[in-house]
Amino acid sequence: MKSFKVSLLIVLPLMILRFTACERPTAPEIANLEPNTTLANIPVENDTIFALATLHWDGEDYDGFVAAFEYRYITRHIYFGDSLVQPWQRIDKTSQTIAFESSDELNHQRFQIRAIDDKGAVDPTPAEKRFFTYQTTFPITTLLSPVPDQQFFIIDGVTDWWQGLPITFTAKDLDFNGAVVEYAWAVDDGPWQWTQDTTVFIGPEHFSPLEGNHTIRVTSRDNTNLVDPVGDSAVIKTIRPIRDREILIIDETIESSFPFGVTYSDADVDQFYSDVFGSNFTWDFSQKGIPPKDTLARYQMIIWHADNTFSNPTDAHKLSHHIEVIMDYLNTGGDLIMSGWRILKSFEPKTPFPLTFLEGTFIHDYLHINIVDETVALPDFIGANGVGDYSDIQVDANKLATAFPYFGKLDQINIIPSRAGFTEAIYTYKNENNSNLWQYRGRPCGLRYFGTSFDAVVFGFPIFFIEKQDALVLGQEVLSSLGY
């Protein structure tokens, strides 16, 4: 019994203490302290600066941590007399480059920044800095291309050759320390498409309807967030190729520039090419210039011939002057055959040959020709040997029989010493076995390019001066290889 009494004496006080502890009230929760915000001393108070300024700040919270900040600025236009209050913007950084609204000649800026702590409390006394900014002006945007009324072919989707309608633009900002930082383009009333590039391709999905007149618009933004309110624009025409006819022959041959003693007429040349290539559609370049694109859009193939020679670079053939049109035609699926006397030389009439054509030129990119040479001005060409499935051809000596100094032969033939991939030589240079100009013998003077969107054939000699029967075979074999 003694041990029980001792245990009871111990347990009872413990129970009393436990009961008393449960009845004791809890301490009140400590109130959250608001955060504090400080601003760096740059820019100097009341200084006058450019409208694009970088500000730095910091915050502290004694019972937690700063989770974010909010900033705004109030602009008072000194001369206009009005004020603008920007809304608070949340930010989790401790610095920001800000384009201050500065449309007046002098603008008073009142910048405020306040910290927000981890419990959402906001600094009730934001840090503040006051300074002035001088006026900034809108950037000026210029559309370089296309130009008004320019025509473009357009197809349903992009390919490896046609990436869309190309446009190029530029812009300038006349402010001290000003800079253009972004550009935008739009089609008709469509939305602005912002970009860092000054050359872009506009895909067909931006044109509705696909074919017709459209307005290309451009604008720009400077480093103070000012957007050119005027911009620039051009109304252009898009044309969808229908290709409902096979071949258009473009006649650039000038019969009055044939060698002395050759007296064939324009009608003679037209009939010759019509017979060789089986087309009655002939366009006289000397009278009408380059065909409009809505005409070219109807044809699956262009055959361009310029079979007269030239000695003065200013009289060189004009195909190179319209090569942008031809490239647009090829990019959207048209085929090309080009022939002529010094036809490749006419692309660089003032430059000595042999000549390497670099990337970015039509000869290199579209014909896949690396180097072009030209035989000397000594009549020696009597025909061409066909390669593979192509038949040999002979110069029509009768057409040149009384022509000084040719007398049945041709000179200044364009040959192709080096070509790139996806090409094949279809004709090679032929002269007499005892000719002193042996170095040209067997060199390619006719080339075919196999493309993904288009095929092309180039002849470095004038087809009109090939014997008619041989030319008929040439036309049949070339067209057959192209799928016509």
**Could you give the CA distance from residue 114 to residue 422 in angstroms, rounded to a whole number?**
67
Residue 258 pLDDT exceeds 80: yes
Q: What is the mean pLDDT of residues 190-219?
A: 97
Band of pLDDT at residue 293, cut at 50, 70 and 90: very high
pTM > 0.75:
yes
Instruction: Look up the CATH superfamily of 245-481.
Output: Class I glutamine amidotransferase (GATase) domain (3.40.50.880)
Residue 12 pLDDT exceeds 50: no
Q: What is the pLDDT of residue 431?
A: 97
Residue 79 pLDDT exceeds 90: yes
Band of pLDDT at residue 11, cut at 50, 70 and 90: very low
Sign of CA dihedral 313, 373, 308, 322: negative
Domains of the chain: which residue ranges? 36-134, 140-239, 245-481
Residue 25 pLDDT exceeds 70: no
Q: What tokens appear for 246 in the block? A: 């096979």
Residue 14 pLDDT exceeds 70: no
Q: Is 365 exposed, middle or buried (0-12, 13-18, 19+ CB in 10 A)?
A: middle
Q: What is the pLDDT of residue 215?
A: 98
CB 457 within 8 A of CB 463: no
**Could you give the CA distance from residue 116 to residue 65 in angstroms, rounded to a whole number?**
9
Q: What tokens appear for 281 in the block? A: 């559609």
Q: Give the Å distances, CA to CA, from 116 to 68, 97, 129, 202, 282.
A: 5, 20, 19, 46, 79
Residue 309 pLDDT exceeds 70: yes
Q: What's the mean per-residue pLDDT of the chain? A: 93
Q: Give the Å distances, CA to CA, from 476 to 136, 192, 293, 362, 482.
A: 68, 51, 27, 26, 10
Q: What is the dihedral of CA 255, 256, 258, 261, to 10 degrees?
A: 120
Same fold, 36-134 and 140-239: yes
The CATH code of the domain at 36-134 is 2.60.40.10
**Could you give the CA distance from residue 443 to residue 391 in angstroms, rounded to a whole number?**
16
Q: What is the pLDDT of residue 21?
A: 47
SS3 assignment for the chain: CHHHHHHHHHHHHHHHHHHHHHHCCCCCCCCCCCCEEEECCCCCCCCEECCEEEEEEEEECCCCCEEEEEEEEEEEECCCCCEEECCCEEECCCEEEEECCCCCCEEEEEEEEEEEECCCCECCCCEEEEEEEECCCCCEEEEEECCCCCEEECCCCCCCCCCCEEEEEEEECCCCCCCEEEEEEEECCCCCEEECCCEEEECHHHCCCCCEEEEEEEEEEECCCCECCCCEEEEEEEECCCCCEEEEEEECCCHHHCCCCCCCCHHHHHHHHHHHHCCCCEEEHHHHCCCCHHHHCCEEEEEEEECCCCCCHHHCCCHHHHHHHHHHHHHCCCEEEEEECCCCHHHCCCCCCCEECCCCCHHHHCCCEEEEEECCCCCCECEEEECCCCCCEEECCCCCCCCCCCCCCECCCEEEEEECCCEEEEEEEECCCCCCCHHHCCCEEEEEEECCCCEEEEECCCHHHECHHHHHHHHHHHHHHCCC
CATH class of the domain whose range is 140-239: mainly beta
Band of pLDDT at residue 16, cut at 50, 70 and 90: very low
CB 396 within 8 A of CB 468: yes
Q: What is the pLDDT of residue 23?
A: 52
How do residues 357-397 score in pLDDT, each as one tens digit? 999 999 999 999 999 999 999 999 999 999 999 999 999 99
Any idea which residue has 């996806």 for tokens?
422
Q: What is the mean pLDDT of residues 400-424?
A: 95
Which are the contacts of 257, defined by CB distance < 8 A and separation ≥ 6? Answer: 308, 309, 310, 315
Q: What tokens appear for 401 in the block? A: 């029989």
The residue among 9 and 432 whose pLDDT is bigger is 432
Whole-number percent of the chain with pLDDT over 70: 94
Residue 318 pLDDT exceeds 90: yes
Q: What is the pLDDT of residue 24?
A: 56
